[in-house]
Amino acid sequence: MRTQVAIIGGGPSGLLLSQLLHRAGIESVVLERKTKDYVLSRIRAGVLEVGLVDQLRAAGAGARLDRDGIIHDGTVISYGDEQIRVDFTEHTGTHVTVYGQTEVTRDLYDAREAMNGNFAFNVEGVAIHDTDTNTPFVTYHVDGSEHRLDCDYVAGCDGFHGVSRATIPENVRREYEKIYPFGWLGILSETPPVHDELIYASSDVGFALCSMRNENLSRYYVQCEITDSPDNWSDDAFWEALKRRIPEEHATNLVTGPSIEKSIAPLRSFVSEPMRWGRLFLCGDAAHIVPPTGAKGLNTAASDVHYLSQALIQFYTANDSECIERYSEKALARVWKAERFSWWMTSLLHRFPDQSAFDIRMQQAEVAFLRDNTSAQAVLAQNYVGLPY
C-alpha cells in the first residue's frame, strides 16, 4: 500500500493532522495500536486554546464543540483563602473553551469517517524505515499478517512510549527532562462544578484543581505522593483533602458524590530535540510532555499539527519545502515557551518535599505580585489562552 503521509497514532493529534491534510487534497493513512473504542475511553483534560478551536473548525470537526463547549473568560488562582481572578478577555481579548479531549477525539473520528479516512487499528510491531532517504516506509502487523506502507513522509503522533522518537538515532537526539516529586490524584464525579471557572488552589497541605466537563460532570485533583495509589483513597478521603486545599467559600459550597473514575497522574517536563529526522516528524507527546498545571498538553500537540500541516500543504501545493526544513525549529520555539509556563505554574502552586521556609515565602511573594500587578496577570492570561502560532 502507498500513501503520501503515514501517520503513526490515532489520537487527537494524528486525527487532526490527517483531517487537515485530507481537506487540502493530501492522502494519509493512520496506524493505531489500539482499538477506536480504547482510544475513546481515555480520560484526558479539556481546556482548549483558541488556536486549537480554530483548527478543529478548519478541519470540519467543530460543530459539536461550538454547541457544547463552555467558554471561560478567566480563571481563579487561590492561595489559602485569598483568591485572584485573572480575566482572559480583559487582558487578551479572547478566552479558552472547556471541552473534553475525549469529545475532541470523537469529533475527529466522526469527521475522518465521514470522509472515508484510511485507518488501521490493532497494529503491532510498527517499524519506521529509511526516513533519511527519499523513500521511507513503515512496516507493521495486524492479526499476524505483515503489511508495508510506502509514503513520502512519516508523522509520529504515537505518544511518549511510541516508536517514532526512538527511530531518531541516539547520537542525534538530545532529551531534557524534569520529574516532579509528586502526582495528581484525580476523580471524575457526576456533580455540578463548585465554580463556573477553574480554580487553581495552593495551600499549606498542597495543591488542588477544580475543573469540569459540563454542568453536571466535574473533574477534581489533589496533589499526592508520587508513590501513592488510588486504592489508598476512599471518596470521602478525597473530598476532605480537596476541601482543605480550596478557599472556605468554595469548600462550603462543594457538592460531593461517588467517583466514576479515579487515577493518579505523574508530573514531568520533557522535550526531545530535534522534532524532525529526514522525512520523519514528531508531534505532541512523542516529542514533549508538560505537567498538566498549565493545560498545555493537547494544545501544544495542536501547535505541532499546525506547523506540520502547513508545511506539508505548502510542499504539496506549491512544491516549496522551506516550512518542512524549518518545522522542528518553529515547533520547538513554541514548545519551550509552553514548557516554561507549565513549569512556572507547577512551581508556583505546589508544595515540594524539600521546600524551605524561604521557598514558601517566595511563592507567597510571587502570588502577591500576581495579585497586585496587572502586567503579571496579562502575561499569565496570554500564556493560558495560547501564544500565537
Catalytic site residues? Answer: 72, 200, 292, 296, 384
Contact by Cβ (8 Å): 52, 12: no
For the chain, the 3-state helix, strand and coil shares in percent, each to the nearest 5, are 40, 30, 30
- State the Cα–Cα distance between residues 85 and 87, nearest whole angstrom: 6
The residue count for the chain? 389
DSSP state of 171: T
Contact by Cβ (8 Å): 28, 49: no
Distance CA 358, CA 173 (A): 38
Coil, strand, or helix at residue 16? Answer: helix
| Residue 2 bridge partners (DSSP) | 150
Dist CA 286 CA 280 (whole Å): 12
* Alpha-helical segments (H) within 59-201: 63-68, 88-92, 101-114, 164-167
Question: Which residues does 161 contact at the CB level (< 8 Å), separation at least 6?
Answer: none
